[in-house]
Structure 1
Amino acid sequence: MLKLFKLFNNKRLFILLIALVMFIVVMGFSLGTRKSLSWPENFLRDTTGFVQNLFYKPAGYVAGLFQDIGNLHKLAEENKELKILAAQSARERTQYNFIKAENERYKKDLKFTKAQKNLYNYEYPIANVVSLTTEPSNNTLVIDLGAKDGIKLNMSVISIEGLVGVISQVSNFTSTVKLMTMMDVNDPNSQPPIAATVFNKEGNTFGMIESYDQQSGMLMMNKIPVGNPVAKGDIIISSGIGGVYPRGMTIGTVESVKVGEYGLTSTAIIKPAAGFQDWKELFVVFTEERAE
């Protein structure tokens, strides 16, 4: 029994020595300078690399997916902010263009009124157009000046280009303007005829603008005495005779002149200076007599 125990102890010592030797050999291989790895090391490295590659790629895809989702959300937010900025910029640009155009109109209006005051001792308060009716039987517009502003019936209303019409109705805060396109000598409710003459020929020319041709868009200046030097291209203005229309209101330009039916008078075809456009502002003419 004692011999068996000694033999067993010797075997354990022997195995321990072998293990120690193998450990030293392995350490020598590991620490030493080698050009290639042993097959256990190759196997271990290849296995580890395969397993890492197997799990790393799906993990990378998942991480990239979440990153892309995050980027899409960020891009959506940036796109939303850009749309808001673009809309704001468009509104500001539109507002700027509107204010610029309005400012340019007011500059022209001011220049016009100053020039007119130098010619005639009239006042020209600016009136904003509230509404416009273009029905053939009721061609009128409404302005934002009324009785409180001194507006009275039959006052002349003009644009920068020329005569537009006359005041036909007055309320406290607004007034109705009957346009020259309503002028008809055969209609007692139409705009009153205009005693007219030729600019720079005031002492030698005379006629009555009594009607407007709806088809041609022209005014008819009748009762021109034969021999009056009214010619194509002449500028027709109001003569002031009759007291309804102030002197010097631009009416239009002569397109042609024809002799009347019996050869005693002539008729001039007048192209209106005002053009009857979509006005924004007009002027009511205050003469000294009307202002009283």
Structure 2
Amino acid sequence: MFKLFNNKRLFILLITLVMFIVLMGFSLGSRKSLTWPENFLRDTTGFVQSLFYKPAGYVAGLFQDIANLHDLAEENERLKLMVAQYTREKAQYNFIKSQNESLQKDLNFREAQKNLYDFELHIAQVISLTTEPSNNSIVLDLGSKDGIKPNMSVISTEGLVGVISQVSNFTSTVKLMTMMDVKDPNSQPAIAATVQDKEDNSFGMIESYDAQTGMLQMNKIPVGDPIAVGDTVISSGIGGMYPRGLTIGKVVDVKVGDYGYTSTATIDPLADFQDWKELFVVFTEERVE
């Protein structure tokens, strides 16, 4: 009986060895398709690998995304700093550019006036502006130490603004042309005026300002005066208060007086009387120390 059992064991061992040899033959041989045991083993192995690979890939991707988010946050902070710095530099550039353009405009204006007329212009910064009806004036940062004297004319690049009314060591007060009223002895003095390019044939006195219309009134214009709508009115220099050639405004209307002996013209002042940052004080030869 033991002999039979041993024979069976030997038989099973031989059968197993034969099957192993056959299987190895199939595996090592040139084949286009796999056997069903190989397919089963490969599919099972792939399935088990996928169970571990995908979660591991998700975890690795999560840590990579977190690292990318951190890098992105740092880059955003750098970009914000760069934008803030650019904004500051752009604002500074615009300010310097505007200031340079303003100074160049002032320089060109001064040179043009000096070439046309016998006076010099000194630039003054506006310190304050008072718009009270009874005291419409501005304060400049130039005073007696700078050679400023009462009754000096003050202009902008557009036109006549007013005259110096009070002077201290370091500042001066300008009485604006909008305070002009021939009936008020404390107002700005009347202006002897003429028409540009018609200086020898035109004359009148600018004596008042209408706050409601924003217009100046030019009176005492002789009959036959060639003044016309659209003309530019300038100071004539007669009387010595205002130098010759200061631009005042444009003629918008001319009417004959009640008795027909003189005419009256309405003048639109070219100076805007607001938002001034700097003005010019007119220095003539007799006023320069």
Q: Output the CA distance in 2 between the equivalents of 1:10 and 1:54.
A: 46
Aligned to 1:173: 170
Deviation at 1:287, TM superposition (A): 0.8
Aligned to 1:124: 121
In the comparison of the two structures, how many residue pairs are matched?
289
Q: Does 1:158 align with 2:155?
A: yes
1:285 aligned counterpart, secondary structure:
strand
| Pairing 1:66-145 to 2, within 5 Å after superposition | 66-145=63-142
Aligned to 2:283: 286
Q: Output the CA distance in 1 between the equivalents of 2:7 and 2:171.
A: 129
What amino acid sits opposite 1:86 in the alignment? V
Pair 28,125 (structure 1): closer, same or farther in 2 beyond 3 Å: same
What CA RMSD, in Å, does the superposition of the two structures yield over aligned residues? Answer: 2.9
Q: Does 1:60 align with 2:57?
A: yes
Q: Output the CA distance in 1 between the equivalents of 2:65 and 2:134.
A: 69
Gaps of 5+ in 1: none
What amino acid sits opposite 2:168 in the alignment? S
1:31-60 C-alpha deviation (Å, 9 max, x unpaired)? 223343333332222211111112222222
Greater shift, 254-263 or 47-56, is seen at 254-263
What amino acid sits opposite 1:209 in the alignment? I
Gaps of 5+ in 2: none
Q: Output the CA distance in 1 between the equivalents of 2:48 and 2:126.
A: 84
What amino acid sits opposite 1:130 in the alignment? I
Aligned to 2:241: 244
Deviation at 1:281, TM superposition (A): 2.6
Pair 200,37 (structure 1): closer, same or farther in 2 beyond 3 Å: closer
Output the TM-score relative to the length of structure 2.
Answer: 0.85
Aligned to 1:225: 222
Output the TM-score relative to the length of structure 1.
Answer: 0.84
1:50 aligned counterpart, secondary structure:
helix
Q: Identity over the aligned pairs, expressed in percent? A: 78
| Pairing 1:261-276 to 2, within 5 Å after superposition | 261-276=258-273
| Pairing 1:31-46 to 2, within 5 Å after superposition | 31-46=28-43
